[in-house]
Structure 1
Amino acid sequence: MGVDYSLYGGADSLAEGRSPRRTFPNNAAILPLLPPKDPSEFLWIHTEEPHRSRRLEIMKKHPEVTKLMGYEPLTKYMVLLVVSLQFFIGIVWLANVKWNSWMFVATAYFIGGTANHNLFLAIHEITHNLAFPKVWQNKTLAILANLPIGIPYAAAFKKYHIEHHKFLGQDGIDTDLPTNIELILLNNVFGKVFFATFQILFYALRPTFVRVQTLTEWHILNLFIVLTADYLLYISFGPKVLIYFIMSSFFAGSLHPCAGHFIAEHYLWDGQDQETYSYYGKWNWLAYNVGYHNEHHDFPSIPWTRLPKLRQLAPEYYDALPAHPSWPMVIFNFIRDPEVGISARAKRRCYEGLLSD
């Protein structure tokens, strides 16, 4: 059978490794509520990201955690189901509906936005090689999941996201972090409304300004397959199917309940320096349990179906961590709270030699 890459957190080869330990984290208990930090600046910290240390502690205390690792066969069926649903809605259900009608827009928001957000998170899951044991199988499925999104991005997302795990908070490497220009322009109520409304554009465009990737054959294949599918849909059914796909993708990363997870995962709250937050509510049912985000960063080789079991296995590590009760409320609180804004992120200095390109 060969190497099962679902056990390696998304690595494309066994030559890849984790970033070296830089400092030892403070093992003190969770701090009490602290005064808010200066909202005009990021929180610069000098400790190691917390997930590696917690992973090692849990593996030492609960060695049976390794039994939760490995790919989830259900994922490929979920992807096929949602991709088929989106093509059915775009080609059949909306065939006689005008693209600028309220029914079309409502369908794109409530059904399409939820479905495409599900596909965003399917690609996130597949990025960690958690749908199949082989890398090429996962990358192929990611391209399939990319089709109803309308814009090719799955291949580029993989490298950026694995860097986000390995270099959490590293300035200039982790492209999940807002840039300084975003802090200058958007760190106010109107700016946060704009950011929350157009989140998907920030996550799509920001990486290309922060850190350009070298094109690989998978980038080219991803571009070719998705753009070819777009062209075939256009010549066969006109622009409406593509409008539905793109509109669904926009809503999926805008003021949509599921989109609250973008802000919920790594923004700082209540004056704490806790970098990652989980959410355990029902929206996880539509989002590959991405709300179990501390658990996911601790063990990126555990698939979505078994993240709740990780929390049950090691409650002493997770139950004491503050977690979000609601994704929609995260968006609302992010916009209205003057103490939480674009700058509410923890950053680390980029050390030379961490990356080879």
Structure 2
Amino acid sequence: MTQKKPTERSPQYPVAPGRLQKVFRHSPLDGWLVLLALIQFAILVFGTLSFGKIAWFISLPLAITSAALLCTNYFTVAHNFVHNPFFQSALANSVFSCFNSMLLGTPETLHRIYHFNHHKYDNAATDPRTGLRGDIGSTYRFGNSTGMEEPLLRYAILSYFRNDIPFLVRTAFKKRHHKLLIAETLSILVMLVTFGVFNPMGFFVFYLPVWLLGTIGSQAQNYLEHHGGTPGDREHNAVSCYSRFYNWIWFNNGFHQEHHFRPQVHWTRVAEVTPMLPPAEERCIVKGAHWLNFGERSKSQTQSD
């Protein structure tokens, strides 16, 4: 099958005021990610504290939106922040790290270590011959004996809870990030206690299901970003999609193989990496969005949108 040339253009975002260039380290466009986090926080807090006090047909859309924003946060806000911290000020980055930890329900420091481990091993599983640790979140780590990925649903539900927390915490202390980790953990606890004190029903019936669904969704997204790729290969281990709409709402997350090849390239410039990769017909590309990367499909699948 002849594959069309990937659409390498990146969606255009409104340019933030020039004065914000003194605030943001890499690009004032990161301000849109900060705004997205603030919107998520507002919806989460209102939805949790108002649960049982407003009509269910209002709470339900709030819950669905909150879960979707949690998943979105992992792949836009948190993802870009761990690679390229937003602010010029180290203090501002630490404060935002604590703030976003509350939104994830997971310390950003542990997420950063987990994610960098993912990049180090490029979705490769633990070597069965040597027992050497590979990507602790690999879609192959708990696959079958023939080297296949584990099923999507099992991975999505179990992956977060199989995290090697002792390894992540030890690494945080080893890298002397323990003070920030403690601050992030306390921030999460303060939020949870506040929810529990002011609206116990909202905590149990709204917040916990939202967190669970959003977290499972994020694990499913990670699976679909790599399903069909070659584990351990920085040029073929991930899946890209070039839909302009998808890349607009998820801040160029569709350029995922590009990101694995050059992980420190800022999200506003990741489309520039595409020409450095092998031809499109040799890579895994899905049409529309990663969410549609189900089942078996050819690497030469067309992807124009």
Coarse TM-score class (shorter-chain normalised): 0.5 to 0.7
The C-alpha deviation readout for 1:332-354, integer Å capped at 9, x for no partner, is 42xxx59xxxxxxxxxxxxxxxx
Q: Which has the higher contact order (CA 8 A, sep 6+)?
A: 1
Query: Hey, what does 2:67 align to over in structure 1?
Result: 113
Identity over aligned pairs, percent: 17
Cα distance in 2 for residues equivalent to 1:213 and 1:179: 24
CA contact under 8 A between 1:259 and 1:327: conserved in structure 2? Answer: no
Identify which of 91, 94, 102 aligns with 2:46: 91
Q: CA deviation at 1:213?
A: 2.8
Root mean square deviation, CA, Å: 3.9
Query: Helix, strand or coil for the counterpart of 2:50?
Result: coil
| 1:235 aligned partner, one-letter code | V
| 1:120 aligned partner, one-letter code | Y
Identify which of 143, 154, 160 aligns with 2:98: 143
Alignment TM-score, normalising by the size of structure 1: 0.58
| 1:208 aligned partner, one-letter code | I
Q: CA deviation at 1:329?
A: 2.3
CA contact under 8 A between 1:75 and 1:131: conserved in structure 2? Answer: yes
Once the two structures are overlaid, the 10-residue window that deviates more, 259-268 or 91-100, is: 91-100
- Structure 1: stretches of 5+ with no match in the other structure: 1-69, 339-357
Identify which of 163, 167, 172 aligns with 2:117: 163
Q: CA deviation at 1:260?
A: 5.2
| 1:329 aligned partner, one-letter code | L
The C-alpha deviation readout for 1:203-242, integer Å capped at 9, x for no partner, is 3532337766344112111101111122123223434157
Cα distance in 1 for residues equivalent to 2:291 and 2:63: 18
| 2:183 aligned partner, one-letter code | L
Q: CA deviation at 1:174?
A: 1.7
Query: Hey, what does 2:81 align to over in structure 1?
Result: 126
Query: Hey, what does 1:72 align to over in structure 2?
Result: 27
Identify which of 159, 165, 170 aligns with 1:208: 165
CA shift in 2, pair 1:81/1:267, >3 Å:
closer
CA shift in 2, pair 1:159/1:92, >3 Å:
closer
Identify which of 237, 251, 256 aligns with 1:288: 251
Query: Hey, what does 1:261 align to over in structure 2?
Result: 221
CA shift in 2, pair 1:99/1:286, >3 Å:
farther
Cα distance in 1 for residues equivalent to 2:198 and 2:35: 22
CA contact under 8 A between 1:152 and 1:227: conserved in structure 2? Answer: no
CA contact under 8 A between 1:264 and 1:324: conserved in structure 2? Answer: no
Query: Helix, strand or coil for the counterpart of 1:147?
Result: helix
Identify which of 229, 233, 246 aligns with 2:191: 229
Once the two structures are overlaid, the 10-residue window that deviates more, 117-126 or 229-238, is: 229-238
Q: CA deviation at 1:98?
A: 7.1
The C-alpha deviation readout for 1:43-68, integer Å capped at 9, x for no partner, is xxxxxxxxxxxxxxxxxxxxxxxxxx
Identify which of 104, 108, 111 aligns with 2:59: 104
Query: Hey, what does 1:177 align to over in structure 2?
Result: 138
Q: CA deviation at 1:263?
A: 1.7
The C-alpha deviation readout for 1:284-313, integer Å capped at 9, x for no partner, is 3333322211211222222222223443xx
Cα distance in 2 for residues equivalent to 1:178 and 1:307: 24
Cα distance in 1 for residues equivalent to 2:34 and 2:253: 16
Query: Hey, what does 2:264 align to over in structure 1?
Result: 301
The C-alpha deviation readout for 1:49-88, integer Å capped at 9, x for no partner, is xxxxxxxxxxxxxxxxxxxxx7233324432443344434
Runs (4 or more) in structure 1 with deviation over 6 Å come to none
Q: CA deviation at 1:156?
A: 0.6
- Structure 2: stretches of 5+ with no match in the other structure: 1-24, 127-132, 298-305
Query: Helix, strand or coil for the counterpart of 1:177?
Result: coil
How many residues get paired?
254
Q: CA deviation at 1:145?
A: 1.7
Cα distance in 2 for residues equivalent to 1:71 and 1:220: 27
Alignment TM-score, normalising by the size of structure 2: 0.66
| 1:291 aligned partner, one-letter code | G
Query: Hey, what does 1:220 align to over in structure 2?
Result: 182
